[in-house]
Amino acid sequence: MRRQYAPRLSIADRREQVLDAALQVIVRDGYAKVSIEAVAREAGITRPVVYSAYDGLGPLLLALLDRQQIRAIEQLEGLIPDTLSPGDPGGFALRAIEAWMNAVVTDPMTWRPILTQQYGTPEVVRDRIEATRGHIRQQLSNLIFSGYAESLPDTEVAAHMLLAVLEHFGTLLLEDPPRYEPARMAATLARMLTALR
Amino acid sequence: MRRQYAPRLSIADRREQVLDAALQVIVRDGYAKVSIEAVAREAGITRPVVYSAYDGLGPLLLALLDRQQIRAIEQLEGLIPDTLSPGDPGGFALRAIEAWMNAVVTDPMTWRPILTQQYGTPEVVRDRIEATRGHIRQQLSNLIFSGYAESLPDTEVAAHMLLAVLEHFGTLLLEDPPRYEPARMAATLARMLTALR
DNA sequence: ATCCATTGCTACACCAGTGTAGTAATTCCG
DNA sequence: CGGAATTACTACACTGGTGTAGCAATGGAT
């Protein structure tokens, strides 16, 4: 009994399909369960087809990371302002925080692997995620400098704190069911920021 | 060529040895690499000996978790006060934060598996750690209520924020080399707490 | 010194994933 | 419509982990 042939796809479409399947496995079963075999099963194809798309699990996960990283950064575009408008103490922060949390609940497939995991396998991968974090943190640092220079002179450490809190809020939203309303978390954070001016 | 016999140990000593080996593997290679085989290799014994100590990987990891949880909680004992002395706004916080960070750098074997969620951490382990986190968070919540009730009425969310920051500071200390001085991080956090009173 | 109970080791059968060489089905194009 | 060219599948050898039955070394009691 020969198995039914999967539809033939161009290499580009195949790669998309494989990445979709890998992401599905990761979100459903966690990183521990990801394997070429599991991805093939998920996609309804056989291992050799997966190998025709990527040279192994490492390159596959790296490609997935590339794709998801682009999606994540696209969602962050424009969320972080360059400076704080002086007349609007907590308002803008509140809106930005809520927009970020909205992005997380809207597209959990993208955010779950970023927020709840460090890719333990290839060092390269972890480094790249951390590099992106560093970039975001730099923007946050500038922002803090523009609005909180007197109360928080160490903007670098302050940016670490802020990003840690934002990421933690994100993970809380990914719990099932979400523990708190986005507005509730944003309110407390905005309150703190306001108090610091 | 028969391998050399490992020293005979009582069941209790054997269990300690096995847990030590497992912890070593986890800290060095991550949870993804832990197996009965890896633990046996690390301890310089054979698999059947590991099986004589624990009934499999699950029970072994659970026992390790028990042991490390006790060690972690012991180190936290007394770090968190019940209430804040009214006359000492940021001073106590500063000392407590530095004490906590000192514990992390002193005993990284205990804290690394807790602070850095690794690739492939088993569900049981994660759940248990999360339960303990909840307990700590509750204490922090009480503390915030006793000192910051007006500025931070949502003590539950505030406790989440505080713990997220403290844990992030911990992970920064576990980097090699540590990114910041403990005092530097503590200073910024203490400054924020002071500003909120 | 020598038992022999205790404790560790070897060896086996089994499972699940890897990577690939060779074969078969499917398209597309003449 | 029929035969390449393309694309997917099968099958195999290999690796590394699991759990256990049975054998062998050790070392304390006699």
Banded model confidence at residue A121, pLDDT cuts 50, 70, 90? very low
Scanning residues 176 through 195 of protein chain A, those with a beta carbon under 7 Å from any atom of strand D turn out to be none
Give dist(CA A157, CA A22) in Å, integer: 36
Which residues make Cβ contacts (< 8 Å) with residue B106, sequence separation at least 6? none
Contacts of B30 in chain A (CB under 8 A): 120
Give dist(CA B25, CA B117) in Å, integer: 15
Under 8 Å between Cβ of A83 and A98: no
Which of A148-152, B21-25, B30-34, B116-120 shows the lowest per-residue confidence on average (mean pLDDT)? B116-120
Banded model confidence at residue A186, pLDDT cuts 50, 70, 90? very high
Return the pLDDT at A119. Answer: 43
Return the pLDDT at A90. Answer: 65
Domain boundaries of chain A, sorted by first residue: 11-54, 67-195
Residues B29-37: contacts with CB under 8 Å, at least 24 apart: B30/A120, B30/B118, B30/B119, B30/B120, B31/A32, B31/A120, B31/B113, B31/B118, B31/B119, B31/B120, B31/B121, B31/B122, B31/B125, B32/A31, B32/A32, B32/A120, B32/A121, B32/B118, B32/B119, B32/B120, B34/B61, B36/B60
pLDDT of residue B84 exceeding 80, the answer is no
pLDDT of residue B74 exceeding 80, the answer is yes
pLDDT of residue B90 exceeding 80, the answer is no
Pick the residue with more confidence: B158 or B1? B158
Q: What is the pLDDT of residues B157-177, one digit of tens each?
A: 999 999 999 999 999 999 988
Among A120, A164, A188, beta carbon nearest to B164? A164
Contacts of B192 in chain A (CB under 8 A): 151-152, 158, 161, 192, 196
Interface contact flag, B119 A116, Cβ < 8 Å: no
Q: What is the pLDDT of residues B93-134, one digit of tens each?
A: 888 899 999 999 999 999 998 888 766 677 778 888 899 999
Please give the C-alpha separations between residue A8 and each of A11, A49, A63, A178, in angstroms, as whole numbers: 9, 10, 21, 40
Give dist(CA B17, CA B149) in Å, integer: 48
| Cis upstream peptide for A177 (omega within 30°) | yes
Q: CA torsion angle for A106, A66, A17, A52 (degrees, to 10)?
A: -170
Q: What is the pLDDT of residues B136-150, one digit of tens each?
A: 999 999 999 988 999
Q: Over range A22-29, report the average pLDDT.
A: 93
CA distance A196 to chain B (A): 6
Tell me which residues of chain A have a C-beta less than 8 Å from any C-beta of chain B.
30-32, 116-121, 151-152, 154, 157-158, 160-161, 164-165, 167-169, 172, 180, 184-185, 187-189, 191-192, 195-196
CA angle centred on A100, ends A94 and A104, rounded to 5°? 140
Banded model confidence at residue A144, pLDDT cuts 50, 70, 90? very high
Please give the C-alpha separations between residue A63 and each of A12, A53, A66, A67, A106, in angstroms, as whole numbers: 12, 11, 5, 6, 23
User: Does the B68-195 domain belong in CATH 1.10.357?
Assistant: yes
Mutate to test the interface with B, among A188, A189, A194, A197 (most CBs of B within 10 A): A188
pLDDT of residue A85 exceeding 70, the answer is no
Return the pLDDT at A43. Answer: 98
Return the pLDDT at B2. Answer: 87
Tell me which residues of chain B have a C-beta less than 8 Å from any C-beta of chain A.
30-32, 116-120, 122, 151-152, 154, 157-158, 160-161, 164-165, 167-169, 172, 180, 184-185, 187-189, 191-192, 195-196
Mutate to test the interface with A, among B101, B112, B116, B119 (most CBs of A within 10 A): B119
Banded model confidence at residue A112, pLDDT cuts 50, 70, 90? confident
Contacts of B165 in chain A (CB under 8 A): 161, 164-165
A2 touches strand D (CB under 7 A): yes
Q: Over range A162-171, report the average pLDDT.
A: 96
Q: Do domains B11-54 and B68-195 have the same CATH topology?
A: no
Sort A185 into a burial class: Cβ within 10 Å, 0-12 / 13-18 / 19+.
buried
In chain B, the percentage of residues whose pLDDT exceeds 70 is: 95
Residues B60-66: contacts with CB under 8 Å, at least 24 apart: B60/B18, B60/B19, B60/B22, B60/B36, B61/B22, B61/B34, B61/B122, B61/B124, B61/B125, B62/B124, B63/B15, B63/B19, B64/B19, B64/B22, B64/B23, B65/B124, B65/B125, B65/B128, B65/B129
Q: Over range B35-57, report the average pLDDT.
A: 98
Q: Over range A58-68, report the average pLDDT.
A: 93
Architecture of domain B11-54: Orthogonal Bundle (1.10)
Give dist(CA A192, CA B154) in Å, integer: 11
Which of A71-85, B83-97, B111-125, B176-190 shows the lowest per-residue confidence on average (mean pLDDT)? B83-97
Fold of A67-195: Tetracycline Repressor; domain 2 (1.10.357)
Interface contact flag, B119 A120, Cβ < 8 Å: yes
Q: Which two tokens stand for residue A81?
A: 């302002």
Q: How far is the CA of B22 from the C1' of D20 (A)?
A: 22
Q: Over range B17-31, report the average pLDDT.
A: 95
Question: Taking all residues of chain A, what is their mean pLDDT, rounded to a whole number?
Answer: 90
DSSP per residue, A29-94: H-GGG--HHHHHHHHTS-HHHHHHH-SSHHHHHHHHHHHHHHHHHHHHTTTS-SS--TT-TTHHHH
Q: Over range B170-188, report the average pLDDT.
A: 94
Q: Highest-confidence range of A59-68, A184-193, B39-48, B96-105, by mean pLDDT?
A: B39-48
Q: Over range A50-67, report the average pLDDT.
A: 95
Contacts of A120 in chain B (CB under 8 A): 30-32, 118-120
CA angle centred on A68, ends A67 and A70, rounded to 5°? 70
Interface residues for strand C (CB within 7 Å) are: A 2, 4-5, 7-8, 35-38, 47-48, 51, 56-57; B 2-6, 8-10, 14, 45-49, 52
Return the pLDDT at B186. Answer: 95
Q: Over range A111-130, report the average pLDDT.
A: 70
CA distance A10 to chain B (A): 32
pLDDT of residue A87 exceeding 80, the answer is no
Residue B117 CA to chain centroid, in angstroms?
Answer: 11
Q: Over range B11-21, report the average pLDDT.
A: 98
Residues A35-38: contacts with CB under 8 Å, at least 24 apart: A36/A60
pLDDT of residue B9 exceeding 90, the answer is yes
Count of alpha carbons within 13 angstroms of residue A116, beta-carbon side: 22
Under 8 Å between Cβ of B189 and A161: yes
